[in-house]
Amino acid sequence: MKIVVAGGDGFCGWPTALYLSQKGHEVTIVDNLVRREIDEELGSNSVTPILPLEERVQVWKEVSGKDIAVVIGDLTDYETVSHLFEDLQPEAFVHFAEHRSAPYSMIDREHAIENHRNNVEGTLNVLWAIKDHAPDCHLVKLGTMGEYGQPNIDIEEGWIEIEHKGRKDRLPFPKAPGSFYHLTKVHDSDNIMFACRVWGVRATDLNQGVVYGLETDETRLDPRLVNRFDYDAVFGTALNRFIIQAAIGHDLTVYGNGSQTRGYLDIQDTVRCIELACLNPADRGEFRVYNQFTEQFSVLELAQKVQKVARDLGMQAEIANTENPRVEKYDHYYNAVNTNLLDLGLEPHLLTDEHLAEVLKVAQQNTERVKRELVMPTVTWK
């Protein structure tokens, strides 16, 4: 297939581009490199040293013999997006190209507005370009499980059957996003659903859980292909922060009482889910939603898992509760459905001690790159 991976320089996009290329697909990465600029803005960095995008792609060519094309461009520039679709005529457009951090969207008014501008405008441009230039292209869009919030009912895959005053309908599942970032994903979902209904766009919205892990089979082929590893309190997930904190001898800081529960998946499953969605496209006019996660954990459970493995490796790892910078429920019900991707053939990689040990060892090898002042939160919701 001819596939564009937007945001292909990022944490999810880079291993996805390699995986799809290795599987024989014709891959083009489009990226504006803004994630690297945000590192400079925040004074942060990846724990793993990553090469410039052009060099990463060249290394992939050396290792695999396969080409990945690169377009440096911004999805908020419609001329760029229009030419991309007109020239390439992609069969699938994998859309990772959004600011992906809840804390980043909550820094201040300017960041909240820029988060909306980048995410919502970029997706709207993609929808118009599909309509204008590539109406058969399948949009595979990375949403988030965070769109749903923490409802006191089971979370269905995008749609729910409702009976009200004697009548029934199938409606979008209610949304209760937890940050301005998550709100942009809700806006995207609504815009995509509308485009499917009125223009006949075909789209799969992958409501992804929190992604963990570092390596895939492709990135393991050469150290220069390594994926980025975010650990700071703005872009680093809870699990990544715990791993880095253990590696540098810092307490594993659990927000609140740690009962907040979410869906999680390995980066190796992310890349497979993307291919499954591409190989099994939505019909014209169909807005399809898959919940993309494999396991559910509370924050405290993650900390306890890291603590156990860290101690097995000889590290001193203590768990400490700290004030929660976010506004979220504790001791809540959380049960989400995730059968669609499993039915398509996903075979999950689960969060094992062996996996945690692999990533902890990488963290230990790169502790000199950790900026310790960044592992505790400075952005608060209130």
* Identity of the residue numbered 372: R
Check: CB of residue 96 under 8 Å from CB of residue 142. Answer: yes
* Whole-angstrom distance, CA of residue 2 vs CA of residue 19: 14
* Whole-angstrom distance, CA of residue 359 vs CA of residue 271: 18
Strand pairing class (202-208; 167-172):
unpaired
* Whole-angstrom distance, CA of residue 145 vs CA of residue 155: 9
Neighbours of 122 (CB within 10 A): 25
The burial of 382, by beta-carbon neighbours within 10 Å (0-12 exposed, 13-18 middle, 19 or more buried), is given as exposed
Tell me the torsion sign for CA atoms 322, 326, 329, 334. Answer: negative
* Whole-angstrom distance, CA of residue 143 vs CA of residue 158: 11
Beta bridge pairs of residue 211? 265
* Whole-angstrom distance, CA of residue 97 vs CA of residue 119: 8
Closest to 72 measured CA to CA, from 39, 36, 33: 33
Is 294 labeled as catalytic in the residue annotation? Answer: no
Q: State the Cα angle at 245 between 241 and 246, rounded to 5°.
A: 120
Please state the φ and ψ torsions of residue 155, each to the nearest 5 degrees: -90, 115
* Whole-angstrom distance, CA of residue 287 vs CA of residue 92: 15
Check: CB of residue 27 under 8 Å from CB of residue 68. Answer: yes
Neighbours of 170 (CB within 10 A): 8
User: Which one of the listed residues 104, 148, 181, 264 is annotated catalytic?
Assistant: 181
Is 219 labeled as catalytic in the residue annotation? Answer: no
Q: What share of the chain is helix, strand, coil (3-state, %, to 5)?
A: 45, 20, 40
Is 144 labeled as catalytic in the residue annotation? Answer: yes
* Whole-angstrom distance, CA of residue 95 vs CA of residue 201: 15
User: Which one of the listed residues 28, 76, 144, 253 is annotated catalytic?
Assistant: 144
User: Which one of the listed residues 28, 185, 219, 237 is annotated catalytic?
Assistant: 185
Please identify every residue annotated as catalytic.
Answer: 144, 181, 185
